[in-house]
Structure 1
Amino acid sequence: MTFSHLASRLDNIAPFHVMELAKMAAALEQQGRHIIHMGIGEPDFTAAPLVIEAAAKAMADGKMQYTSATGLPALRAAISGHYKQVYGLDIAPGRIVVTAGASAALLLACAALVEKGSEVLMPDPSYPCNRHFVAAFDGRAKMIASGPAERFQLSDQMVREHWGEDTRGVLLASPSNPTGTSILHGELGKIIATVRAKGGFSIVDEIYQGLSYDEAPFSALSLGDDIIVINSFSKYFNMTGWRLGWLVLPEQLVAPIEKLAQNLFICPSSIAQHAALACFEADSLALYEERKNEFKRRRDYLVPALVELGFKVPVIPDGAFYVYADCSALSDDADRLVKDILNQVGVSMVSGLDFGPHTAQTYIRLSYATSMDNLQEAVRRLGQFFNKK
């Protein structure tokens, strides 16, 4: 059977080059090469022991049926308690919707808010799937070039200058993938106030918020009850493949999102939800903080090492586990550079190609979600590569 006609919206969905590089790296590994993976943003840590035990117990106890589309009440309450403990915020459990990963959360938010022709502002560079979620509902992501002066984020001035007749809102990420940079609290407050005054929506992706290193963590939820926040168990809680995340919503959006979730997903994984309850145990939280400190140690090693190699790191990442490095002094083609490095010395990284045209040719993203031994070996190999040139 052949398909002669595909939905035109597919024309607005670009290939995910990060995954293509991962396939290239896997092919080299199959040939017997040792590859150091600094491409995909996945913690090298696995789920905490208590989480694994809770998953096994849930299966042994037969807790594998559908849950409510909005998630287990106990898990929604636990997430609410986490906001109180970490951020000092009183978030009603009823405003929290558990989702099948942050991707499902973004999909649901865009399904509820984006219409044909809607324009959503986001920075260039930003996580590529964010613009594709908008495109999936026939909206249009307006990518606004952002550089080191703005921490690769949107500023309030940018939002004011680029807000147009079809603009419906902003989609932000703090800390961000690919840059690891956060929007400063005062600037984020200005952006949200501007969007609010224009009657628009503010979606803030906070999946890396737990991995903030240099300042006291804060959530955009502290800036008002009308903000939509995305979060996930993948990064800080080290549960990538479990596919579990959540939304915090204004009260009036809970029922519409629940209706969508019922139809599109039925519910998130019941086993993952029962397991995630153990994330909030004291022993688990202590372990996550130890791992967070290890990520910070890796960052503090990698950034100066890259500078020594000839890269520029104009903004020190304050969160997540990425360094966004300017390679323009070393190459005029970032995509070709990362492929040459992979093939010649076996270090897998990604160019700025996925993240928007503004930095596509001049920046590479490196993930330090791998061991310190691997990072040190990667730096040694990069030195070997550049000394050969």
Structure 2
Amino acid sequence: MSADLLKLAARLEHIAPFHVMELAKHAAALERQGRHIIHMGIGEPDFTAPQPVIDAAARAMQDGRLQYTAATGLPELREAIAGHYRHVYGIEVAPSRIVVTAGASAALLLACAALVEKNTEVLMSDPSYPCNRHFVAAFDGQARMIACDAAQRFQLSAQQVDAHWSAKTRGVLLASPSNPTGTSVAPTELASIADVVRKRNGFVIVDEIYNDLRYDGTPFSAVSLGEDVIVINSFSKYFNMTGWRLGWLVVPDSLGPAIEKLAQNLFICASSIAQHAGLACFTPESRAIYEDRKAELRRRRDYIVPALESLGFHVPVMPDGAFYVYADCSALSDDADQLSRAMLEEAGVVMVPGLDFGVAAPRRYLRISYATSMENLEEAIRRLRGFFAR
């Protein structure tokens, strides 16, 4: 049979291309031509894993600790993650409720595999991270996107969840802090959302991969809202281990056997080397490094927001976490996609249009990542000032 005649699964019709990556490919082509490009598009910290984590990985390899682990992860890593919740958030979590995964993507995949049924809906905010709705589509569910404006910090409210819940609704998937907006759901609002969903016997999944990168307010995790709230986290962002593919789930004890069964069949386990390295993330030495880096990201946020506004962008909501700004560019252009391409071609600066993140106002906003050096941020603003002057 010719490969051209292979029939693709119908679910692929609901999975759109990722414009962020397409823009990144175009930027890479310009770099191959000798252009210097400043990347403020892809959400990846410019920091890499600190030396204690690298050393832990090297020791694991030298000692031959390279075999499969349990599908739920190394027991000592699950205990260390539980200790993280105790140390940072004052929450007691049983290590048995923690499942170590091959990145947050695997955690979301496992959660959706366990909970999303064919032709059911999962409520999400618009804007939101596109891959999250595609995880739902992968299991023949449908993400129901609900427009959330700047007045509500681009986040779902309990009232909206209540109003949009239908006979087809299975649950809610939130991200706090969010990609692309860098905004969080207020703890009281998140608690209200959980209460609304409980009354309907649905599920709440909270993506907290940026939660340790909150710059404002008291530390908070949705884990504190009850055992029935499913929480996703990752070593990629705060812990600077993007390519290591390591994350975790916090699930109710009752869901543990189902998640373990799925993990055994779909992944076997997360990388053993990454897991042994991950243990070093929780030492006092590593914590001090991560907190210094977090302070640097906050310093970049406090620079880039007023700098963007000085160019004519409008930042309607100050981001309180992650490393993104969701900027309204309507005073500069009526098409964020065209503007992003022009800025790349003429100024050598990558910023991502809102096309990936929803349908409510995709051509009005740009997502801007400040996970690059202060030197690069300052140079980007200098270039853009000249670009807009022209």
Q: Structure 1 length as normaliser, TM-score?
A: 0.99
Question: CA shift at 1:103, angstroms?
Answer: 0.2
Question: What is the DSSP-based 3-state SS (H/G/I as helix, E as strand, rest coil) of the residue aligned with 1:331?
Answer: coil
What's 2:189 paired with? Answer: 187
Aligned mates of 1:349, 1:359 — CA distance in 2: 16
1:368 aligns with 2:370: yes
Aligned mates of 1:359, 1:269 — CA distance in 2: 39
Question: What is the DSSP-based 3-state SS (H/G/I as helix, E as strand, rest coil) of the residue aligned with 2:123?
Answer: strand
Aligned mates of 2:353, 2:179 — CA distance in 1: 13
Q: CA offsets, 1:357-388, max 9 Å, x none? A: 11210000000000000000000011111110
Aligned mates of 1:232, 1:273 — CA distance in 2: 12
1:294 aligns with 2:296: yes
Residue type of the alignment partner of 1:229:
V
1:49 aligns with 2:51: yes
What's 1:209 paired with? Answer: 211
- Structural mapping, 1:229-308, within 5 Å: 229-308=231-310
Question: CA shift at 1:150, angstroms?
Answer: 1.0
Aligned mates of 1:157, 1:306 — CA distance in 2: 33
Aligned mates of 2:65, 2:224 — CA distance in 1: 35
What's 1:310 paired with? Answer: 312
Gaps of 5+ in 1: none
Q: CA offsets, 1:293-352, max 9 Å, x none? A: 000000000000001100000000000000000000100000010000000010011000
Residue type of the alignment partner of 1:135:
A
1:161 aligns with 2:163: yes
What's 2:323 paired with? Answer: 321
Question: CA shift at 1:258, angstroms?
Answer: 0.2
What's 1:36 paired with? Answer: 38
What's 2:357 paired with? Answer: 355
What's 1:111 paired with? Answer: 113
Aligned mates of 1:76, 1:118 — CA distance in 2: 32
Question: CA shift at 1:118, angstroms?
Answer: 1.1
Residue type of the alignment partner of 2:177:
P
Which of the residues 106, 117, 121 maps onto 2:123?
Answer: 121
Aligned mates of 2:315, 2:219 — CA distance in 1: 23
Question: What is the DSSP-based 3-state SS (H/G/I as helix, E as strand, rest coil) of the residue aligned with 1:336?
Answer: helix
Superposition RMSD on alpha carbons, in Å?
0.5
Aligned mates of 2:117, 2:216 — CA distance in 1: 38
1:79 aligns with 2:91: no
What's 1:12 paired with? Answer: 14
Aligned mates of 2:332, 2:166 — CA distance in 1: 39
Aligned mates of 2:89, 2:223 — CA distance in 1: 9
What's 1:148 paired with? Answer: 150
Aligned mates of 2:65, 2:53 — CA distance in 1: 15
Aligned mates of 2:127, 2:219 — CA distance in 1: 23
Aligned mates of 2:193, 2:131 — CA distance in 1: 22
Q: CA offsets, 1:232-265, max 9 Å, x none? A: 0000000000000000000101100000000000
Aligned mates of 1:143, 1:194 — CA distance in 2: 18
Question: CA shift at 1:16, angstroms?
Answer: 0.4
Question: CA shift at 1:151, angstroms?
Answer: 0.5
Question: CA shift at 1:217, angstroms?
Answer: 1.4
Aligned mates of 1:147, 1:275 — CA distance in 2: 40
Q: CA offsets, 1:156-201, max 9 Å, x none? A: 1110110001001000000000000000111111111100111100
- Structural mapping, 1:164-179, within 5 Å: 164-179=166-181
Gaps of 5+ in 2: none
Question: What is the DSSP-based 3-state SS (H/G/I as helix, E as strand, rest coil) of the residue aligned with 2:360?
Answer: helix
Question: What is the DSSP-based 3-state SS (H/G/I as helix, E as strand, rest coil) of the residue aligned with 2:205?
Answer: strand
Aligned mates of 1:139, 1:278 — CA distance in 2: 38
Question: What is the DSSP-based 3-state SS (H/G/I as helix, E as strand, rest coil) of the residue aligned with 1:267?
Answer: coil
Residue type of the alignment partner of 2:292:
E
What's 2:230 paired with? Answer: 228
Q: CA offsets, 1:99-139, max 9 Å, x none? A: 00000000000000001011000000000000000000000
Question: CA shift at 1:15, angstroms?
Answer: 0.2
Q: Structure 2 length as normaliser, TM-score?
A: 0.99
Aligned mates of 2:312, 2:116 — CA distance in 1: 43
Q: CA offsets, 1:77-109, max 9 Å, x none? A: 000000000000000000000000000000000
- The percent identity for this pair of structures is 71
Question: CA shift at 1:4, angstroms?
Answer: 3.3
Aligned mates of 1:340, 1:131 — CA distance in 2: 29
Report how many aligned residue pairs link the two structures.
388
Question: What is the DSSP-based 3-state SS (H/G/I as helix, E as strand, rest coil) of the residue aligned with 2:342?
Answer: helix
Aligned mates of 1:276, 1:239 — CA distance in 2: 9
Question: CA shift at 1:48, angstroms?
Answer: 1.2
Aligned mates of 2:301, 2:143 — CA distance in 1: 31
Residue type of the alignment partner of 2:76:
A
